[in-house]
Amino acid sequence: MGEMLNVEELFGSKVFTVEKMKERLPKTVFKEVKKVMECGGELTKESADVVAKAMKDWAIENGATHYTHWFQPLTGITAEKQDAFVTHPDEEGRMLMEFSGKELIKGETDASSFPSGGLRATFEARGYTVWDITSPVFLKEDATGVVLCIPTAFCSFTGEALDKKTPLLRSMEAVSTQALRILRLFGNTDAKRVIASVGPEQEYFIVDREKYLKRPDLIFAGRTLFGAPAPKGQEMDDHYFGAIRERIGSYMKDINIELWKLGVTAKTQHNEVAPAQHELAPIYETANIAVDHNQLIMEIMKKVAGRHGLTCLLHEKPFAGVNGSGKHDNWSLSTDTGMNLLDPGNTPNENIQFLLVLACIMKAVDTHADLLRQSAADVGNDHRLGADEAPPAIISIFLGDQLDDVVKQLVETGCADHSIQGEKLLTGVSTLTDIEKDATDRNRTSPFAFTGNKFEFRSVGSSDSIASPNTTLNAIVAEAFCEAADELEKADNLEMAIHDMIKRYMTEHQRIIFNGDGYSQGWVDEAARRGLPNIKSMIDASSALTTEKSVALFEKFGIYSRTELQSREEITYEIYSKSINIEALTMIDMVRKLYLPAVMSYTGELAKSIKALNEIGMDSSVQTKVLSNISAELAKANAALEALEAAVAKAKLIKNGKDKAYAFKDEVKVAMDNLRKPVDALETMVDNKAWPVPTYADLLFEV
Ligand code: ADP
Ligand code: MG
């Protein structure tokens, strides 16, 4: 306890940082690397060799034996294949550890077992991993030893993206190019790039590992498929921001240390709304690095939990009846010279550039609400979106009082002559400083909220990669900027044209603004009247990928080809069917092998005691009543079990991916819900000691 942590020294100690490159590379090579990092292009073969050697020397000094091209296939998690630095021994049998520029830059894998949505037949299984020079190389240390990890993009033999990073990088270039066109209209000539920045807030649950290991549903599905509610949930609001318990605190401390070593700026930690739920947020950074780092955060959270006898659950809905977990994706655009395009300043009504950017974002989100919804869709998130604890499945924008007022002025009169200002916060206590309030309050129910100088996309699921949401955001905003620039670059009177455009865009897309309660039925009805899409499930969202509108958008900026989009749509159906199938099989297994035997042996005991009581002429009416109630539920459970088995067998026979996914959603899932009900009822009826798995009370309140 209390040992000094030198965070400054720790930070980035396992990263081959720019600073380390500067120290270890010849000046000319370092300059070349910096140039490629900032402006794109390729390293010469000679320079790549020099960089690889410096990297390898540093890695070996730090205990590394292997390197890996670390990539992000469409499974949503990361993948790696490790190679040792070893080479052929020389004539004397000596072995030199080597690593060439070629090995650094390009890897080749037989990747036929990754989802490709039909993009690659297994006989053309070649996949390539290509170094993403803009995301830092790092060392991963675990039981395997120390491994040098090189963040890479993953493409097929024919150049199609098989991963989440490639389209993201493409989208970042698109939004940069198009945003620069807007900036140039305002006379900005010094910015060379516009950078999409992202700060994801990661929510998670922590449970005791021993108990976790007794729950097949947590092991196989990442969420509880059964479980009667505990007597207490989150209704007392006593967990949110509560004092962090010691066991969790020491876990959080270890996560922070591991993340800091990896150069991840773990910053904020707190207890979340549900019991056993917590959050970690890093400081925002360039989108592709933030995506890589979020993968590391999720990985480290899981790994470190084991050391503390804990298990980290990243599923969007591990427990029914209490809040699920999301990942608020904070997003903004700023220039390489440090100007945030989403910063309205104190008087947004006078900030024409900001208003144009805002108008373009309104247009983008309104035009592509379906795509944005799709980008946050995953199997677990179906339990959250629209379920009164997470943003609704309807995409809308929250602007807050100040901007909302400016937009209203512009739409109504064509000119905005004032901005509502934040007032002093009067606490009524003379010893408390009267602080300046924000001009705008928060709205927790909005899926896409303006929060000062960034948008917060709140629909993203906790277990999901944040690559797709940010790819989509960048792409749709790039398109709006592009269309605006096409028109404005031709305008005779630029000032007038900009003014007219802001008013026009805001008027045409005003329906996407909603500042009220997103959880209310009133909003569902209102959104329907406004014609906003309300896409309820993951697979209902999938077809948004391949509409003509979507293909035109993504092909225009070279982010996804039509084929890539089709394959991605196909993969969503595959992933969905497989996930629900696993859940269903787990339920069947648990009922057959755990719950039914437990209940049957309990009813057997009851029957015996009834018989014994009857034999000595004692009253057995209570026992008989309990037994008959339990037997009735048991029969229901057994019937529901058989119905679920039949539904799975039927869904499995379907060949077409989309039809199959719908069978899993409309039939298997329904049968799963029908099975859960009697089993949860049984849990409340039998002796605690007879119940074969830890309960919600055990899992949520005894960490
Ligand atoms: P809030 O409390 O409003 O959600 P925080 O300050 O806690 O905001 O930030 C939440 C996340 O947003 C953090 O990861 C933070 O680094 C990130 N963030 C802050 N400013 C920006 C910005 N301009 N662009 C992107 N992310 C940002
Ligand atoms: Mg937030």
> What is residue 73's DSSP assignment?
B
Q: What is the mean pLDDT of residues 296-320?
A: 97
pLDDT tens for 216-227 read: 999 999 999 999
Closest by Cα among 618, 638, 620, 619 to 630: 638
- At residue 186, the pLDDT reads 96
Q: What is the mean pLDDT of residues 476-502?
A: 97
- At residue 425, the pLDDT reads 65
281 pocket-lining for ligand 1 (C-beta < 6 Å): yes
Atom index in ligand 1 nearest the CA of residue 282 equals 14
Query: DSSP labels for 7-32?
Result: HHHHTTTTB--HHHHHHHS-HHHHHH
For 436, the 3-state DSSP assignment is strand
In whole numbers, what is the pLDDT of the chain averaged over residues?
Answer: 93
Residue environment code for 326-340, b if the CB has 16+ CB neighbours within 10 A, otherwise e: bbbbbbbbbbeeeee
202 pocket-lining for ligand 1 (C-beta < 6 Å): no
Binning pLDDT at 50, 70 and 90, where does residue 427 land?
A: low
Q: What is the mean pLDDT of residues 538-566?
A: 97
SS percent in the chain: helix, strand, coil, step 5: 50, 15, 35
Residue environment code for 561-572, b if the CB has 16+ CB neighbours within 10 A, otherwise e: beebbbbbbbbb
d(C-alpha 589, C-alpha 641), whole Å: 10
Q: What is the mean pLDDT of residues 376-404?
A: 93
- At residue 429, the pLDDT reads 72
Atom index in ligand 1 nearest the CA of residue 453 equals 23
Cα 290 to ligand 1 centre (Å): 12
Question: What are the residues facing 617 on neighbouring strands?
Answer: none
41-55, 96-110, 194-208: segment of lowest average pLDDT: 96-110
For 139, the 3-state DSSP assignment is strand
332 pocket-lining for ligand 1 (C-beta < 6 Å): yes
pLDDT tens for 363-378 read: 999 999 999 999 999 9
Domains, the chain, ranges and CATH? 7-163 (3.10.20.70), 172-198+338-422+436-559 (no CATH), 202-325 (3.30.590.10), 575-701 (1.20.120.1560)
d(C-alpha 467, C-alpha 295), whole Å: 10
Using DSSP bridges, classify how beta strands 285-286 and 310-313 pair: parallel, antiparallel or unpaired: unpaired
Q: What is the mean pLDDT of residues 659-683?
A: 98
Using DSSP bridges, classify how beta strands 277-282 and 194-208 pair: parallel, antiparallel or unpaired: antiparallel
326 pocket-lining for ligand 1 (C-beta < 6 Å): no
- At residue 39, the pLDDT reads 86
Asked whether 165 and 288 are in contact (CB, 8 A), the reply is yes
Binning pLDDT at 50, 70 and 90, where does residue 526 land?
A: very high
Return the amino acid letter for 117. Answer: G
Cα 403 to ligand 2 centre (Å): 19
pLDDT tens for 125-150 read: 788 999 999 999 999 998 889 999 99
- At residue 148, the pLDDT reads 96
Question: What are the residues facing 313 on neighbouring strands?
Answer: 205
**What is the residue with the minimal CA distance to atom 2 of ligand 1?**
451
Atom index in ligand 1 nearest the CA of residue 199 equals 14
Query: Six-digit token pair at 668?
Result: 């298997």
Surrounding residues of ion ligand 2, Cβ less than 5 A: 328
Cα 370 to ligand 1 centre (Å): 25
Query: DSSP labels for 626-654?
Result: HHHHHHHHHHHHHHHHHHHHHHHHHHHH-
In this model, does residue 319 exceed pLDDT 90?
A: yes
Closest by Cα among 373, 662, 294 to 532: 373
- At residue 241, the pLDDT reads 80
Query: Six-digit token pair at 586?
Result: 């787990």
The percent of residues above 70 in pLDDT, for the chain, comes to 97
- At residue 89, the pLDDT reads 85
In this model, does residue 439 exceed pLDDT 80?
A: no
Q: Count of CB atoms within 10 A of residue 298's CB?
A: 23
Q: Which helix (H) or strand (E) holds 68?
A: strand 64-70
Q: Count of CB atoms within 10 A of residue 674's CB?
A: 17
138 pocket-lining for ligand 1 (C-beta < 6 Å): no
In this model, does residue 121 exceed pLDDT 60?
A: no
Q: Count of CB atoms within 10 A of residue 424's CB?
A: 10
Asked whether 468 and 417 are in contact (CB, 8 A), the reply is no
Asked whether 679 and 637 are in contact (CB, 8 A), the reply is yes
- At residue 442, the pLDDT reads 75
Which ligand neighbours the alpha carbon of 267 most closely? Answer: 1
Binning pLDDT at 50, 70 and 90, where does residue 124 land?
A: low
86-100, 193-207, 529-543, 593-607: segment of lowest average pLDDT: 86-100
Residue 404 CA: distances (Å) to CA of 340, 441, 447, 455, 514 = 20, 12, 16, 14, 9
Cα 43 to ligand 1 centre (Å): 34
241 pocket-lining for ligand 1 (C-beta < 6 Å): no
Query: DSSP labels for 255-317?
Result: HHHHHHHTT--EEEEEE-SSTTEEEEEEPPEEHHHHHHHHHHHHHHHHHHHHHTTEEEE--S-
391 pocket-lining for ligand 1 (C-beta < 6 Å): no
- At residue 232, the pLDDT reads 83
Q: What is the mean pLDDT of residues 284-290?
A: 97
Atom index in ligand 1 nearest the CA of residue 281 equals 14
Binning pLDDT at 50, 70 and 90, where does residue 2 land?
A: low
Taking the whole predicted model, whether its pTM rises above 0.75 is answered as yes
- At residue 477, the pLDDT reads 98
Q: Which helix (H) or strand (E) holds 488?
A: helix 467-488
Cα 17 to ligand 2 centre (Å): 29
pLDDT tens for 160-187 read: 898 999 999 999 999 999 999 999 999 9
**What is the residue with the minimal CA distance to atom 6 of ligand 1?**
283
330 pocket-lining for ligand 1 (C-beta < 6 Å): yes
Best residue among 172, 284, 354 to mutate for probing ligand 1, ranked by most atoms within 8 Å of CB:
284
Binning pLDDT at 50, 70 and 90, where does residue 290 land?
A: very high
Count CA atoms closer than 13 A to 641's CA, side-chain side.
Answer: 19
Cα 328 to ligand 1 centre (Å): 9
201 pocket-lining for ligand 1 (C-beta < 6 Å): yes
Binning pLDDT at 50, 70 and 90, where does residue 243 land?
A: confident
308 pocket-lining for ligand 1 (C-beta < 6 Å): no
